[in-house]
Each structure stands twice: as C-alpha cells, then as structure tokens.
Amino acid sequence: MLFLSTFENKIDAKGRVSIPASFRNTLARSNGGLVLYPNMLKPFIEGCDTNRMAQYAEAADQLDQTSEDAEAYFAMMASAREMRIDSDGRIMLTDELIACAGLSDEALFAGRGKGFEIWKPARYHEHNNAIKTRVSQNGMPRIDLKAASKEGG
C-alpha cells in the first residue's frame, strides 16, 4: 500500500475536498478507513488509513505510558479524526484541520508512502523547494533498502 504523487484540489465553500482517486484506491485496497490529524510540528495535515493508525497505537503502547514520548503519540491520536468519504470521493474538513494547515480554497495532497500530507499549495512548494535545495547541496540521504524489504515482508 503506497500513497504516491502530488495533486491539487479545490476546497468548496462547505469545506469539502476530493481525495485523489489514486489515494481512494489505495485506501480501498488496504481495507482501512481514512484518518486525518494535524501535524504537531509543521503546518499540514497528515493522512493515513486506520491500519497505520493502529500501528502507531501499538508502538505507543510499548512506551512508558507516563513518558513525554507516549504523551506526544496520545495527543496525536486524540486530535485524529476518522473521515467519511462521500459517494463523490470527497471529505468534509473540520475547522481545526483547515486552521492547522492554513487552507482556504485549495489543498495539495502529497503522497508519503504509507501516508500522505495535505498542505496549502504555496507552503508545500516552498517547503519542497527547500528540500530540493538541501538535496542538491548534500545529496540524497542514504537508506538501507535491504533492511526495509526485510521489515516490510
């Protein structure tokens, strides 16, 4: 299950926005519902399926339940919302989600592998350009694909 690519969609006056078709297909294949929550560090909304959110809950349960690390994950889960996708492929964004990302009339959906992000388009482009500049100066960070394939099955 992978969320890939970038899409820009209009937000209507009621706060409804279409989930990109490929993202809806990914959600359908996962047999999990859609969960959205505000990112706690940057101005965007994070999205994933309920299966991924369950993984976060399981991992958080392994932490000392009174630790600041556990509290951060519990706060993330407390702010999360299961979203209903209507027959036209749209969701209704809450006021809290709209405010956290500074959205108005457009939303940019950016695939992030096992999840995705929803940004105000101008902020995303600024953020993405900064990443491209950093990579052009420092190169791509190294990752261990062999270890990742073992963990992924």
Q: pLDDT of 46-84, one tens digit each?
A: 999 999 999 999 999 999 998 998 899 999 999 999 999
| Domains contained in the chain, CATH given | 6-120 (3.40.1550.20)
| SS3 state of residue 64 | coil
| SS3 state of residue 110 | strand
DSSP class per residue in 18-43: EPPHHHHHHHHHHT--EEEEE-SSSS
- Is the pLDDT at 45 greater than 90, yes or no? yes
In this structure, of 13-27, 35-49, 50-64, the range with the lowest mean pLDDT score is: 50-64
Alpha-helix runs per DSSP H in 62-141: 68-79, 95-101, 121-138
As a whole number, the mean pLDDT across the chain is 93
CB–CB of 119/102 below 8 Å? no
The per-residue pLDDT for 152 is: 58
